[in-house]
A and B are shown apart, each in its own frame.
Chain A
C-alpha cells in the first residue's frame, strides 16, 4: 500500500478519534496543523517562541538569534525506515526537536572515529576519563627527560595496567595498586600520580586526595596542573557520594556541603590559574555539576549562559549543552533564581503551558513575570513578548497582547524573536476577530522570512485565515504564496466545495497529485451526498484506466481513483449491483429507489474507496477544521442501513441483506466498524431475530450465525 495513502488513511483515524490530526502512521506522535500550540508534542514545534514548543526548541531559537547557534545545510536524507517520526513530514514546519538539532549540530568531521568509552555521553561517572587520562600521562612522561628510561617503561606499564572497576561495589576487596619500582625523584612523582588515579577510580577518595595534594607543588607542569584539577574531582565525588536516591535520581540537599564547597573552590582556583588549561572546559562543566548538586539554579544558569557564549570552549557541543540545560535547570528551577534572560525566557514559556494534563497545574502568574522586568532590562522586546504571550495564552486577552507587541513592520530578515512578535500579533488579531488585518499581516511578513522554517509557518497561518474567511479560492489562485502540498491537500480534502474541487481537478498548472486528489474528493462527496447529476458530469474527468500491467505491478498513483471505475461486483458475499456509472444514472433519475441505495452502500463497502480519508473534519482549531464548504454531510454506512430499514419499500431479499449487513457492522469485536451512530445491542439482536424469523430461508439468514 503506498505510504501516502496509508498516511491519509491514518490521518483519517487521527481526525475521527479527535486526536490532533495527522497520525504519523503510528501513535508515536501526530501533527497538529495549527500555529497556536498549547500542548507539548514531539511532532509539533513551530519556529516561534511558544509555550507549546519543546523548551529546547525555544532555547535554540533564542540562541540562533544571539548567534550562539548556527543552522547549516541539511545533510543527506536518512533512510525512511530509520526516522522519527515516520513517515516524514513533507515540509519543514512543524518540526521535531531532532529535525532542528540535525541542522544545528555540526556534521561529523571527516575521519572522526567512535570514542570507546564504556559510558554513555553525559553520564556523570568519574571513570569516563580513564582512556584519555592514559594518553595524557604517557605524553607527559615522554616530555620529562629527567625520568630515566627504565622508570619510564615501568610507569607506562603501570598506567596501562590501571583498570578501574568503578562498580562502586562496597563488598569488593580494595584493589592493590600495581607495584611500581622507580628510582628517580620525578619518576616517584609520576608513580604517586598513578597511586592517586588508582585510588580515585576505586573510590578511595581520601587516599586520592593525599596523592594529588602532594603533587600540587610539583615542578613538572603536567603533574601540577592535573593534580590541581583532580583535587576538584575528588572533592566532587566525595560530595555526591550520598546525593542520589536508590533510583539514581538527585535528592535535593543531599550533597555533602563541605566537600562540595571544596570542589567549587578547587575548580575556580584551577580556572583562575589555567584559564586555557587542558582541563578548563571540563572544569567549567563540572562547576555546573557542583551548582546542580548544590541546588543553586542561579549559579547553574550563569554557568550555562557562559557556556553558550562560547560553546566551542566547552567540553560538550551546543546541542548537548541545550539538552543539559533543559534536564538539569529548566525543568526543575524556580523563576526567582534564574537571572539569565535567555534561560529565564525559556523557563517562563515552559510555565505558560497550561494544557498539560496534570490536574491543578497552574501557569506562571503575571505578577511573577512582572517582577522579572529588571532581568530583561537589556532585552525589552523579549520581555514584552513574554508578557504578550502570557496575555494571549494564559489570560485569554488577545487585545492586551496586541497592545504589548510592536506594530511596526518587521526588519528584514526577521530574527526568531521578531518573527515571534509578528506571529503572535497575527494570532491575537485573529482571536479578536480581525481576520482581515491578520490576513494583511501574514502577507506582509512572507517576503521577510528566513529559511527554512518561517515561510511554511506563515503559509499555515494564511491558509487557516483564508479558510476561516471563506476565501479558499485565494489559496488556489495562481498568485497564491501557499505552496505547501500538505496544507493544500488538507484544504481540498476537508474544506473545499464542489466548484473549487472541480477547478483543481481540471487545472493545467496544479501538480498531478493535487489534481487527482481534488477529483477523488469531488467524486466521492458528490456520489455519497446525492449530487448524482454533477457526479455523472465530473466522471468525465476520470483518466483512462492504466494499461494492464505485466510482471511487477507498479504502485497505483496516489490517490488511487480506480474505485470510481467500480464494476458493481463484490469479491465477497454482496448483492448484484450495476457498475457505478449506471448506478449513479439510476439514482439521478430516482434517488430513493431502495435497490440503488443498497448498491450505493455496496460501492462504499467494497470498491476500495476511502470516505474515511476525506469525510471527517479535523478539530475546529486546526487547518481544515472550519465547516466544510461542500454541502451535505459524511456518508456513514450504518446510518444508511438504518435509513433503508426504516423504508417500508425495502423488502424481500434486499431487506434480508441490509439486516445482515447492519448486524455485521458489529462483527466480531462488538465495535461498530461501519461508521455512523451506534445502536445498542438490543437493536442488533432485534435485527438478527428479524432476519432469522422473517427471512428464514434466505441465504443471508443462513450465513449469519451470531450477532455481536
Chain B
C-alpha cells in the first residue's frame, strides 16, 4: 500500500510537459448528463440517452439525525426515451429509516409520472480508506431497493489507484455502475491521466464523469477496457453560490 501510494505521488509529480493538448469537453459531443438543481437546461438535453438528475441531499446539522433535503423543483415529466437516474448527494451515511422510505416514495412518484427511471445514484465522497464502510452501506441500500431499480454511485478518481482492491471487489454485485469523476468543482483534476493509467484495477462497469468546459484526453486503453460504459458530462452554468 505504501509503495503504491509513493508511486502514485511520484507519478503525479511529473510535469506534463510532453502531454498532447487536451480537448475541451463540449456537451454536444456526449449523450449522458448530470443535471444539478439550478443549472439551466440546455438544448443538448434533448438528445440525452441518460440523465442523472439531482433531487436531494442527505446531511446532518448540529448533531441532529440526518435529513433528506429536496433539491430541484417538482417531479419531472421527462419526454426522453432513454434512462433517467435520480441522484442523491450524501454528506453522511448515517441514514435514519425515514430517508430510505422517502427515496422509495420518490422513485414511485417518478415512475407514476411516466419518467423512465432505471435507478438511483448516490453521490458520496467516500474516502478511499473507508471504501469498505461505504460498500457495507451500499449493500444495505441495495437490499431495500426494488429489484428493478439499479444502483449507481459516483466514485473518486483515486479509488482506481488507492482504493483497497478488496473493498472495490465488495462493490461487485451491489452497484451496477460507478461513475468516476475526473473533476473537482468546475475544473478537471490536474494529473488525471496518471490516475486513469490505473483504471485496469477497477473491475466494475464504470463510466467517466467529465465537467462541461473541462479538459479531457481519453487514454488509449480506455476504448478497449471491457468495463468502460461511456461518459457522463456534468453540465454547468454561470449561476454559482
Q: Which residues from chain A sit less than 8 Å from chain B, CB to CB?
A: 1, 3, 6, 9, 12-13, 16-19, 25-30, 39-42, 54-56, 72, 75-76, 78-79, 81-82, 84-87, 98, 101-108, 112, 114-125, 165-169, 172, 240, 244-250, 319-320, 323, 326-327, 330-332, 350, 353, 356-359, 361, 608, 610, 612, 616, 636, 669-675, 677-678, 680
B106-114, B145-153, B167-175: which lies at the interface? B106-114
The 8 A CB mask of B201-240 against A (1 = contact, 0 = none) is 0000000000001000000000000000000000011111
B58-102 interface with A by 8 A CB criterion: 59-65, 67-80, 91-94, 96-98, 101-102
Tell me how far the C-beta of B48 lies from the nearest C-beta in chain A, rounded to whole angstroms: 10
Find out whether the CB atom of B59 lies under 8 angstroms from the CB atom of A98: yes
Given contacts A75-B63, A82-B94, contact A124 B73 (CB under 8 A): yes
Given contacts A13-B9, A673-B11, contact A108 B77 (CB under 8 A): no
Find out whether the CB atom of A672 lies under 8 angstroms from the CB atom of B14: yes
Contacts of B7 in A (CB 8 A): 673
Contacts of A677 in B (CB 8 A): 15, 17
Tell me how far the C-beta of A680 lies from the nearest C-beta in chain B, rounded to whole angstroms: 6
Given contacts A82-B94, A361-B238, contact A108 B62 (CB under 8 A): yes
Given contacts A121-B67, A675-B13, contact A608 B98 (CB under 8 A): no
Tell me how far the C-beta of B197 lies from the nearest C-beta in chain A, rounded to whole angstroms: 4
Residue of A nearest to B41 (CB): A247
Contacts of B105 in A (CB 8 A): 118-119
Tell me how far the C-beta of A526 lies from the nearest C-beta in chain B, rounded to whole angstroms: 21
Find out whether the CB atom of B102 lies under 8 angstroms from the CB atom of A248: no
Chain A to chain B contacts (Cβ below 8 Å), 26 pairs? A9-B9, A16-B9, A25-B128, A27-B156, A27-B157, A27-B181, A81-B130, A86-B127, A107-B63, A108-B62, A118-B106, A119-B70, A120-B69, A166-B109, A168-B109, A169-B112, A247-B53, A247-B72, A248-B73, A319-B61, A327-B71, A356-B240, A358-B186, A612-B6, A673-B13, A675-B14
Contacts of A105 in B (CB 8 A): 61-62, 64
Contacts of A82 in B (CB 8 A): 92-94
Find out whether the CB atom of A120 lies under 8 angstroms from the CB atom of B127: no
Find out whether the CB atom of A118 lies under 8 angstroms from the CB atom of B102: yes
Cα A578 to Cα B32 in complex, Å, equals 58
Contacts of B119 in A (CB 8 A): none
B191 within 8 A of partner (CB): yes
Give the 7 A-B CB pairs with smallest separation, nearest first.
Answer: A105-B62, A167-B112, A28-B125, A669-B197, A75-B63, A123-B70, A118-B105
Tell me how far the C-beta of A201 lies from the nearest C-beta in chain B, rounded to whole angstroms: 13
Contacts of A54 in B (CB 8 A): 241
Cα A676 to Cα B229 in complex, Å, equals 35
Contacts of A1 in B (CB 8 A): 1-2, 5
Residue of A nearest to B77 (CB): A246
Residue of B nearest to A678 (CB): B17
Q: Which residues from chain B sit less than 8 Å from chain A, CB to CB?
A: 1-2, 5-18, 35, 37-38, 40-41, 45, 51, 53, 55-56, 59-65, 67-80, 91-94, 96-98, 101-102, 105-106, 108-109, 112-114, 125-130, 133, 156-158, 181, 184-187, 189-191, 193-194, 197-198, 213, 236-241
A sample of 11 more A-B contacts (CB under 8 A), given A54-B241, A108-B63, A678-B15, is: A17-B190, A28-B156, A79-B94, A121-B69, A169-B114, A327-B71, A350-B240, A350-B241, A612-B10, A671-B14, A671-B193
Find out whether the CB atom of A612 lies under 8 angstroms from the CB atom of B37: no
Residue of A nearest to B93 (CB): A82
Find out whether the CB atom of B78 lies under 8 angstroms from the CB atom of A247: yes
Residue of B nearest to A637 (CB): B10
Cα A13 to Cα B195 in complex, Å, equals 12
Cα A172 to Cα B109 in complex, Å, equals 13
Find out whether the CB atom of B14 lies under 8 angstroms from the CB atom of A678: yes
Find out whether the CB atom of A358 lies under 8 angstroms from the CB atom of B238: yes
Instruction: Identify the interface centre among B10, B105, B187: most chain A CB within 10 Å of its CB.
Output: B10
Cα A117 to Cα B68 in complex, Å, equals 11
Our pick among A26, A350, A358 for the contact of B158 (Cβ within 8 Å) is A26
Find out whether the CB atom of B109 lies under 8 angstroms from the CB atom of A167: yes
Find out whether the CB atom of B35 lies under 8 angstroms from the CB atom of A247: yes
Cα A107 to Cα B62 in complex, Å, equals 5
Find out whether the CB atom of A245 lies under 8 angstroms from the CB atom of B194: no
Tell me how far the C-beta of B157 lies from the nearest C-beta in chain A, rounded to whole angstroms: 6
Contacts of A9 in B (CB 8 A): 5, 9
Cα A122 to Cα B106 in complex, Å, equals 14
Contacts of B64 in A (CB 8 A): 105, 107-108, 112
Tell me how far the C-beta of B170 lies from the nearest C-beta in chain A, rounded to whole angstroms: 16
Cα A675 to Cα B17 in complex, Å, equals 12
Find out whether the CB atom of A114 lies under 8 angstroms from the CB atom of B74: no
Residue of B nearest to A28 (CB): B125
Contacts of B1 in A (CB 8 A): 1
Find out whether the CB atom of B74 lies under 8 angstroms from the CB atom of A244: yes
Contacts of B13 in A (CB 8 A): 12, 16, 612, 616, 636, 672-673, 675
Residue of A nearest to B10 (CB): A673
Instruction: Identify the interface centre among A30, A356, A610, A672: most chain B CB within 10 Å of its CB.
Output: A672
Contacts of B239 in A (CB 8 A): 331-332
Tell me how far the C-beta of B71 lies from the nearest C-beta in chain A, rounded to whole angstroms: 8
Cα A293 to Cα B116 in complex, Å, equals 27
Find out whether the CB atom of A678 lies under 8 angstroms from the CB atom of B18: yes
Find out whether the CB atom of B101 lies under 8 angstroms from the CB atom of A118: yes
Find out whether the CB atom of A331 lies under 8 angstroms from the CB atom of B101: no
Find out whether the CB atom of A108 lies under 8 angstroms from the CB atom of B65: yes
Our pick among A26, A42, A76, A246 for the contact of B78 (Cβ within 8 Å) is A246
Find out whether the CB atom of B238 lies under 8 angstroms from the CB atom of A356: yes
Tell me how far the C-beta of B66 lies from the nearest C-beta in chain A, rounded to whole angstroms: 10
Our pick among B11, B186, B187, B237 for the contact of A671 (Cβ within 8 Å) is B11
Cα A86 to Cα B13 in complex, Å, equals 23
Given contacts A6-B5, A28-B156, contact A669 B10 (CB under 8 A): no
Cα A12 to Cα B13 in complex, Å, equals 9
Contacts of B67 in A (CB 8 A): 120-121
Find out whether the CB atom of B106 lies under 8 angstroms from the CB atom of A120: yes
Tell me how far the C-beta of A173 lies from the nearest C-beta in chain B, rounded to whole angstroms: 13
Contacts of B125 in A (CB 8 A): 26-28, 84-86
Find out whether the CB atom of B197 lies under 8 angstroms from the CB atom of A114: no
Find out whether the CB atom of A13 lies under 8 angstroms from the CB atom of B12: yes
Tell me how far the C-beta of A468 lies from the nearest C-beta in chain B, rounded to whole angstroms: 26
Find out whether the CB atom of A248 lies under 8 angstroms from the CB atom of B70: no
Our pick among A30, A56, A166, A674 for the contact of B10 (Cβ within 8 Å) is A674
Tell me how far the C-beta of A54 lies from the nearest C-beta in chain B, rounded to whole angstroms: 5
Find out whether the CB atom of A165 lies under 8 angstroms from the CB atom of B112: yes
Find out whether the CB atom of A114 lies under 8 angstroms from the CB atom of B98: yes
Cα A86 to Cα B56 in complex, Å, equals 21
Our pick among A42, A104, A245, A672 for the contact of B62 (Cβ within 8 Å) is A104
Our pick among A6, A81, A112, A121 for the contact of B68 (Cβ within 8 Å) is A121
Contacts of A172 in B (CB 8 A): 112
Our pick among B126, B127, B133, B241 for the contact of A331 (Cβ within 8 Å) is B241
Given contacts A105-B61, A166-B109, contact A81 B9 (CB under 8 A): no
Contacts of B79 in A (CB 8 A): 246
